[in-house]
Amino acid sequence: MIQRKQPRIEKCLPISIASPNKAPSDRRAALSSDLSSNGFCLETTSLRRAGETVTGYVLHGNKELTFSGKVKWVQHGNPMASTWHRMGVEFIRVSPGLRALLSMLTNPTLR
């Protein structure tokens, strides 16, 4: 069993990701499947490489809460079974708004 640094919670959030210094058209849609204060598991149709740095934002209401992170692991999906790729992203930097959202979502007394 995988040892986690922080407990995970299941939460589906809309996310946009890209490689740093790429054009806005390089952004790809993703959904979180679980998250912690240190990172999240993303499901996406566009897989990144393990070790790659990514930037993006979590869409929360009408706000774009930015982050940068490192892809720690990848798992290929199966298009024949309609499953998306999965990847684990560890945060390098998060905006104050995203840090506040993560704190609210991961703190059981605030849920």
Q: How many domains does the chain have?
A: 1
- Residue 74: pLDDT over 60: yes
Write the pLDDT tens digit of every residue in 50-66: 999 999 999 999 999 99
What token pair was written down for 43?
Answer: 């499901």
pLDDT of 19 reads 82
CATH label of the domain that carries residue 54: 2.40.10.220
Write the pLDDT tens digit of every residue in 18-46: 887 777 678 899 999 999 999 999 999 88
Helix (H, G, I), strand (E, B) or coil at 103: helix
* pTM of the model as a whole: 0.86
Helix (H, G, I), strand (E, B) or coil at 21: coil
- The neighbouring-strand residues paired with 37 are none
Q: Which of 23, 2, 9 is nearest to 104 (CA)?
A: 9
Domain annotation covers residue 61: yes
Domain annotation covers residue 67: yes
Domain annotation covers residue 59: yes
Domain annotation covers residue 105: no
pLDDT of 2 reads 58
Domain of residue 25: give its range.
9-99
How far apart, in whole angstroms, are the C-alpha atoms of residue 26 and residue 17? 8
